[in-house]
A and B are shown apart, each in its own frame.
Chain A
Amino acid sequence: MTSLARIFLGLVLVFLYLPIVVMAAMGFNASPLYALPFDFSTHWYEELAGNGRLIEAGWNSIWLAVLTAVIATALGTLAALALWRRTFRGRAILRILLLPPIAIPWLITGTAMLVFFFWTGIGRGLHAMLIGHVALAIPYVVLVVGTGLQTLRADLEEAAMSLGSTPIHAFFRVTLPLLMPSIVGAALFAFAVSLDQFVISYFLSVPGMTTLPVEIYSAIRKGFTPEINAISTILLVASMIVILGFARFARPGGIGERS
């Protein structure tokens, strides 16, 4: 049974990485139209090295995603605690209010934000993108952490309090460690939501200060060159190294265990 499960996991990973491998390979293919047969070339990486705009957009994306993940995870976790650990009137409504940001197509949300931010004087720019990204990521964080809370027994906190823990101490010693897999997962999602967010960034970015997905989205119009594959590949490999390295050296039980 176990080996069957592992084979299945392997197949899922093959499925997930198939287009990623294609993406990486095409970054090394000479054809600008991604045409086959494959013709090895590092041309696109050379082009990329000279493309300051794309590289800067890449850095912007990373910083934006990191800040989004940190802020959204912190705020969303607090909200999840209230929504799944406390009873109060209006709870159902507040939960439902998490859905519009997910359900309404980003294009509409982005247009709405552009107009609204214009009216209120928030304007456009990296700060506006940050506001937008965090707002989009919060529902994901709340729902993921909420799932963790639903499956985490409430009596553990009570047990800690019966032994003399204040609610805050109980949260940090008992709830938080047990909730870690959900919180880390939520943060990874928030990071991904921001990193992959093009529609809203597109509306809220100012000329000369864009993110990678915005560059890619704009490029659909006119030339989606393998440079984009190159930078995407670099980004993925870098994040793989960082995050797997982090998992390696972080204390055990961060995301994999709840015991």
Chain B
Amino acid sequence: MSGVDVTGVAKSYGATRVLTDITQSFESGTFTSLLGPSGSGKTTLLRIVAGFVAPDEGSVRIAGADVTGVPVYARNIGMVFQSYALFPHMSVAANVGFGLGRRGIRGKAARAQVEEALEMVRLPGFGARHPKQLSGGQQQRVALARAIVIRPDVLLLDEPLSALDRRLRQEMQVELLRIQRESGLTTIFVTHDQEEALTLSDKVAILDRGRIVQMGRPAEVYERPRTKFAAEFLGDANFLTGIVRAGRVEIAGAAIATEDRLPPDGATVTLAVRPEKIAIRPADAAGSGALENSLPATVASVIYTGTALTYMLRSGDLSLKVFAQNSDGSPLAEGSAVVLSWAARHSVSVEG
């Protein structure tokens, strides 16, 4: 069963096109991240699902029912805002119980559910306090409790962790995941933090200029990016553009192998290779013949970060980046000649 279905949704503000023909299913019970730079339309999409923004075209279904024309307040959603948006004039319990009251649940039943929700976010007994008396992380949990206590059909999170400091953010990521798993709510999470998206999500959707360019499991999207943008936005990538010749791609004099299907000879293609997938060795060292691709290069610079090394290299006109483990404690010197090698399956063909 589908949690949320978005079909053919488009939205413009004046002449600016914010979303273009979005069609996507968010499966029931899954945690999906909408990931993209600012201006990519991810927040607009979330607000269309919530009902704060009406799409120009297309429809939105939540739990099987078409809600396109239904206002926010009749949609049964739960939402956590970037700044939490706790009602400052109400106690924590009144905040959490607010949505229950709107659903006709009051009195003892409401109190029990509020306490249960507060326990779930590990703030039992905080009901009588006021939001002002809570820390940022605690306010975050109250906002979450307020959104889940009403058992919404979908839980919408609008960059809820961005206002927290790094340590607290990591802690809350764990909490969020636990609570989502326990409650089993269909969750849509907007973020511009790729690490957060990868850590939390069942599915990641990458948005670029108003389109979803790729959606899938985090590993799938990371390992097999479909576009240059996806490869670049989620992690780092080297892009090698060349011409197809006999099932390989000719780049800087080398013929690069890939396992992806290639267009016919003569076509131009771009391959993405993740920097950590490339092995580096001095040109005069013995080769490891196991890897299909190899490319001679020169070290342009080295960035030393303790556990790892980042090499910036040049091979002909090409600039490349390689991440290497700092395993022997002596990085290769700048200007030294090296050979780069990687497996054919790590050359991923991407769209421009």
Contacts and interface: CB of A to CB of B under 8 A. Distances in A.
Asked whether any CB of A lies within 8 Å of a CB of B in the complex, the reply is yes
A155 B85 CA distance: 6
A158 B77 CA distance: 12
A161 interface: yes
Interface residues on A, range: 20 to 34
A103 interface: no
Interface string B110-152: 0000000000000000000011100000000000001100100
A11 interface: no
Interface string A232-259: 0000000000000000000001000011
B166 interface: no
Interface in A142-197: 153, 155-156, 158-167, 169-170, 173-174, 177-178
Interface in A124-158: 153, 155-156, 158
Nearest to B132: A259
Contacts of A173: 98
A253 B89 contact: yes
Contacts of A156: 85, 87
Contacts of A155: 81-83, 85
B72 interface: yes
B102 A163 contact: yes
Contacts of B86: 159
Contacts of B99: 163-164
Contact of B79 (A159, A170, A178): A159
A169 B101 CA distance: 12
A227 B297 CA distance: 100
Contacts of B81: 155, 158-159
Contacts of B76: 164
A155 B160 CA distance: 13
Contact of B73 (A165, A253, A258, A259): A165
A30 B257 CA distance: 110
Given A259-B130, A259-B132, A162 B78 contact: yes
A174 B132 CA distance: 16
B253 interface: no
Given A162-B50, A163-B146, A178 B88 contact: yes
Given A163-B99, A165-B73, A259-B130, A158 B89 contact: no
Q: Output the residue of B82, B86, B87, B130 with the most chain A CB within 10 A.
A: B87
B162 to A, nearest CB: 14
A155 B163 CA distance: 15
Interface in B203-250: none
Contacts of A153: 83, 85
Contacts of B87: 156, 159-160, 174
Nearest to A163: B99
Contacts of A163: 73, 78, 98-99, 102, 146-147, 150
B72 A161 contact: yes
B103 interface: yes
Given A155-B83, A159-B85, A164 B102 contact: yes
B149 to A, nearest CB: 9
A166 B85 contact: no
A189 to B, nearest CB: 23
Given A159-B81, A259-B132, A166 B89 contact: no
Nearest to B130: A259
A169 B102 CA distance: 10
B79 A177 contact: no
Contacts of A258: 88-89
A162 B89 contact: no
B304 interface: no
Interface of B: 50, 52, 71-74, 76-79, 81-83, 85-89, 98-99, 102-103, 130-132, 146-147, 150, 156
15 contacts: A155-B83, A155-B85, A158-B79, A158-B81, A159-B79, A159-B81, A159-B86, A161-B52, A162-B72, A163-B78, A163-B99, A169-B73, A169-B102, A259-B130, A259-B131
